[in-house]
Amino acid sequence: MKSLNRVKQHVSTFLAAVTLTSAAFAANAQEATSLDQLLEQLAQGKVAQTQQNKQREADFMARKSEQDQLLANATNERDNQIKLSTELEANFQNNEIELANRQDALNKRLGELKELFGVLQQVAGDTKSKFQNSVISAQIPGREAFLDEFAQSMGSSSKLASIEEIEKIWFELQREMTESAKVVRFDREVVLADGSKQTATVTRIGNFNLVANNKYLEFISETGSVAELIRQPSGRYLGTAADMTAANPSQGTQQVAFALDPTGGSILSLLVQAPDTQERVDQGGPVGYVILAIGAIGLLIALERFIALFLVGNKVNRQLKTATPSNDNPLGRVLMAKEEYKDVDVETLELKLSERILKEVPQLTSRLTMIKIISVVAPLIGLLGTVTGMINTFQAITLFGTGDPKLMAGGISQALVTTVLGLVVAIPMVFISTILTTRSRGIINILQQQSAGIVAERAEKGA
């Protein structure tokens, strides 16, 4: 390539020389004033031109050998360079073949070892990601750094693994396995739920869970820290964590029931996302609160009615057993009509009795309709909440499409939670309303159908 360039350079200088000589000839021509002068000039010019041409010819002849020399030089140099290039190419080719042969020989000599190194690299990568998420790393930190380095060096270069390195991987795998069978206690810094850090005695159960201070912990692999779960599982499971904390290893092996998360913490970490009862109720929105308020009113009324009807029922029962009518119960007040109107005929007495009964009945049935209405209205309001929730959902669909279920979740949970709240209020209300109605109807029955009979029985006994 270099030689070729040089040849080009020589050729261009030669061309430049030719153009310069022709320019000098053009400059000799002069302006003529008359025809004779022009003719003379022409004659002179012809002479001069001939002379010039002769001189140029001589010059050219003199230089021709020089040019030939230059050309020969250039050609020579080009040939040299081409030869060099061919030589180098051949050399490269030879080297390539040599390299391939050597590589082949290496592969042949490595034999099964080559596969082994492939497997080693893969195992190192897998183990690294496994160690990152394993709770055992909370006790033995920094295991994955070596594995990471090892996998990278195996993958990028032709460097072979040393026996020490292979044995170390073996050791680490063995250690993970052995540790996963143990329940171990160790002191470690723990991030509490309020964000503060504290050194605590952590109990590790195999490679499943970490427990400290009667609470479940989570191992955060990104930072390598151990934190208390913000939302702990329900009391039944927390109790087993407390048992685990309380178990005393100094008394030898001790058996404790323990609720472990077989996924190594991922189920427990999902707990944090699931809303608790309070948040659920909040999802119901204003409609949910209205239902709850109505339910609370219903409960208060029911409580008041329960107490009142219970007291009245007791007094009526006592009245049925005693002969003298007292003023503190409806039956007594009805029976007193007989005392007040002793000598009237039976028609009038019946009239007076019904008058008294009519007076008593409203007190016994008051507010019971209210409870009945609440038991009917609560599911209806729940239905209202369902429909508004669905409207929200469809608005979200209109705006964002159906791609993301989370955007629709708000409306759907409102729809469902209000239905639940409606039912939760309605079910006890139906039950309470039945009990109260039965009770009040029983008392009213005694008044309406038996009071006259009681009067008659007493009259017969007295007679």
Binding site for other proteins (CB under 8 A): 270, 273-274, 280, 346, 405-406, 409, 412-413, 416-417, 419-420, 423-424, 426-427, 430-431, 433-435, 437-438, 442, 445-446, 449-450, 452-457, 459-460
Helix, strand, coil percentages, rounded to 5, for the chain = 75, 5, 20
Residue 448 is classified by DSSP as I
In our burial notation (b when 16+ CB lie closer than 10 A, e otherwise), range 45-67 reads: eeeeeeeeeeeeeeeeeeeeeee
Q: Smallest gap, in angstroms, from Cβ of residue 360 to other proteins?
A: 16
Three-class secondary structure of residue 455 per DSSP: helix
Three-class secondary structure of residue 236 per DSSP: helix
Q: Smallest gap, in angstroms, from Cβ of residue 301 to other proteins?
A: 18
**HSE toward the beta carbon, residue 345, CA cutoff 13 A:** 1
Token digits of residue 22:
């022709």
217-226: long-range contacts, CB 8 A cutoff, minimum separation 24: 217/190, 218/265, 218/268, 218/269, 219/133, 219/134, 219/135, 219/137, 219/138, 219/265, 221/132, 221/133, 221/137, 224/137, 224/138, 224/141, 225/189, 225/191, 226/138, 226/188, 226/189, 226/190, 226/191, 226/202
Three-class secondary structure of residue 197 per DSSP: strand
- Nearer Cβ to other proteins (19/273): 273
Residue 222 to residues 29, 132, 138, 253, 274: CA-CA distances in angstroms?
93, 8, 12, 34, 23
Q: Smallest gap, in angstroms, from Cβ of residue 266 to other proteins?
A: 11
Q: Smallest gap, in angstroms, from Cβ of residue 138 to other proteins?
A: 25
Asked whether 382 and 422 are in contact (CB, 8 A), the reply is yes
Q: Smallest gap, in angstroms, from Cβ of residue 277 to other proteins?
A: 12
- Whose tokens are 């009526």? That residue is 316
- Nearer Cβ to other proteins (245/433): 433
Give the Cα separation of 384 and 414 in Å (integer).
Answer: 11
Q: Smallest gap, in angstroms, from Cβ of residue 439 to other proteins?
A: 10
Q: Smallest gap, in angstroms, from Cβ of residue 437 to other proteins?
A: 7
- Nearer Cβ to other proteins (101/438): 438
Q: Smallest gap, in angstroms, from Cβ of residue 380 to other proteins?
A: 13
- Nearer Cβ to other proteins (123/383): 383
Helix (H), strand (E) at residue 202 = strand 197-205
Q: Smallest gap, in angstroms, from Cβ of residue 103 to other proteins?
A: 46
Q: Smallest gap, in angstroms, from Cβ of residue 433 to other proteins?
A: 8
- Nearer Cβ to other proteins (111/235): 235
- Nearer Cβ to other proteins (134/440): 440
- Nearer Cβ to other proteins (247/412): 412
In the chain the first and final C-alpha atoms are separated, in Å, by: 150
Helices (H) and strands (E) counted in the chain, each on its own, are 15, 5
Q: How many CB atoms lie within 10 A of CB 323?
A: 9
Q: Any residues with CB less than 8 A from the CB of 335 and at least 6 apart, and which?
A: 319, 325, 451, 454, 455
Q: Smallest gap, in angstroms, from Cβ of residue 372 to other proteins?
A: 11
Pick from 335, 326, 358: nearest CA to 457: 335
